[in-house]
Amino acid sequence: MKITSNFKKALIILYGLGVLTLSVYFLYFYLQQKTILILKDAIYYLAIADGILESCAVLDFSTKPASPILTPQNGVVAFHLILSSLGLDHEDRLIGIAIINYLLHLSAIWPLYKIARQIGFQSTFLIAALLGLYAGSYYLYYYQLMALNDGAFNALSVWLVYLIISSYRNSIDTSHRLVKLGLIFILTIVLVHFRIQAFTILAAAILASIIVRRYGFAFSMFASMMAGIASLALIYIFADTSGILGYAENRRAIIELYNQDFFVNLTLKTYSVFNQALSEVLFTDLGPFRNSIYVFFLLGIPMAFCSGLRQQNFAVLFVSLLCFVGISAMVFFLLPISRYLVYLFPFLYLLILFYKWTRPIGFFLITTILILSFAKSRFGLNIPESENHKFWRYLHEQKIALPAGNALLISEEPRRPYLFLKTRSFVGELTWEKIKTQQSLFLVGSRGFIQTSLEQIEHLAKQKENSAFKHRSLTPGYNDPEGFQLLELYGFATKAF
């Protein structure tokens, strides 16, 4: 028996070291590939931080003039402000945020372990499988290391779930319960600025509390939810929220159109959320089989709910309701986007490991994911890139920059030039007077965008002063099917009659 126990410990230690090695490798891989730098949303948050530093205004500073923010979810901007105060430049700040997200991801292993124990997991191998999946899943790191709100939110949401379950269980010890309720209150105020989905966690906690008739605890969760809403309102009460309101109006119009044929659209949208977003989060490389595997996870949710209801087990009820509310919110708001469901990843796998008859499926998927992770660490990850991404990577690697000065840049994608060309993109009305005040004008984008922009500028030149200009490519050595290039227009002069 002693030998068996020692062998089990050695096996667990070896497994843990292997998973940790994978984790460090994936961090190194994504930082080397600089995939996190190409995401335009990451540059959007970077530009908001610069706007706060330079003008004390919450605006998207990547454009000229600065644009209103599009979402209240700007928690990652705080990381930019902290790293900027340490003297880090744009690229180093993005890398720094990826490392912060990585450390937060690893920190969530401990509360996930505690949640598994509180749910009722007793087997060491069962818990090791869940934690190994969370720490060693190769595709999970793509979502976690992006310099966006997602990485911090996904990790801290595990902490919030743990604190809620732990606070409920410690109801007898008033002092410990008050401390944890205070932490829930603070963490909620922080989390809502990273992702609005923080409210789905609290909504699930409120529902579970009502079901087990713990109305006082439900009120505590409701108070935390109200505090989160108040913190959002206080932050943006003095900011230009026209962009947020415009986006909300657009979503409302889409939902109204959706409701015109409610049942047909509900079926299609539910299928889209399940078949695309959810299946990609649960298992991205299972090919066509992944489109049916998620059914087992969906069955695990009502089964766990019924078990929790029968036993009046708050933890099981809470986790099952969290998965249900989180997925339902994506269906209701018509958002079949996989990264919005990543925070449910560990909890969906926890539920499929909860029952003995679904456990073999969970073990099979976890084993397959970890084997693929080891294989990809050996042979390399293949990250598909669009021609657009390849072009901006080329600019970064070749260190191509615009001449110093107040350059007038018109870009097909306004955000990326802010990082890669150190220039804000002009998004106002282009006039001939505006062009003439500049020594040169730059265009960046695909072939179609360049041609359309040239025609517009030629029309302005002929219309105003019968003028002419020259142009040259600043990326003559770059070729791709979509014709991306950086073009300089110069030599604006009036033609002689």
Same domain, 370 and 412: no
Same domain, 319 and 409: no
Final residue of a structural domain among 352, 379, 406: 379
Helix ranges (H only) for 193-313 are: 198-211, 215-236, 242-259, 262-272, 279-282, 290-311
408-411 and 59-60 beta bridge pairing: unpaired
Same domain, 359 and 396: no
Number of domains forming the structure of the chain: 2
Same domain, 405 and 466: yes
Same domain, 327 and 410: no
Q: Give the Å distances, CA to CA, from 10 to 4, 15, 59, 191, 366.
A: 10, 8, 54, 38, 20
Please tell me the predicted confidence (pLDDT) of residue 277: 62
pLDDT tier for residue 221 given thresholds of 50, 70 and 90:
very high
| Average pLDDT, integer, range 162-187 | 81
Is residue 190 over pLDDT 70? yes
Please tell me the predicted confidence (pLDDT) of residue 152: 93
Is residue 262 over pLDDT 80? no
Same domain, 101 and 149: yes
Smallest Cα–Cα separation from 333: which of 405, 393, 252? 252
- Which pTM does this prediction carry? 0.87
Same domain, 36 and 96: yes
Please tell me the predicted confidence (pLDDT) of residue 287: 56
Same domain, 353 and 393: no
- Can you give the residue range of the structural domain that contains 489? 387-494
Choose the weakest-confidence range: 44-48, 110-114, 234-238: 234-238
**Contacts with 328 (C-beta within 8 Å, 6 or more apart), sequence order:** none
Same domain, 433 and 345: no
Report the alpha-carbon angle 490-492-493, nearest 5.
Answer: 145
Residues 54-104 pLDDT 10s? 888 888 888 888 888 878 888 899 999 999 999 898 889 999 999 999 999
Please tell me the predicted confidence (pLDDT) of residue 279: 63
Same domain, 248 and 210: yes
Final residue of a structural domain among 330, 346, 379: 379
Residues 370-391 pLDDT 10s? 888 888 777 666 666 777 788 8
Burial of residue 291 (CB within 10 Å: 0-12, 13-18, 19+) is middle
Smallest Cα–Cα separation from 321: which of 337, 336, 309, 339? 309
pLDDT tier for residue 147 given thresholds of 50, 70 and 90:
confident
Same domain, 176 and 302: yes
Please tell me the predicted confidence (pLDDT) of residue 131: 92
| Average pLDDT, integer, range 415-425 | 86
> What is the distance between the alpha carbons of residues 44 and 419, in angstroms, rounded to a whole number?
10
pLDDT tier for residue 400 given thresholds of 50, 70 and 90:
confident
Is residue 397 over pLDDT 60? yes
Higher pLDDT, 293 or 48: 48
Please tell me the predicted confidence (pLDDT) of residue 265: 54
Is residue 4 over pLDDT 50? yes
Please tell me the predicted confidence (pLDDT) of residue 430: 81
pLDDT tier for residue 35 given thresholds of 50, 70 and 90:
low
Final residue of a structural domain among 329, 353, 379: 379
Same domain, 348 and 323: yes
CB 423, CB 402: distance < 8 Å: yes
Q: What are phi and psi of 212, to 5 degrees?
A: -90, 10
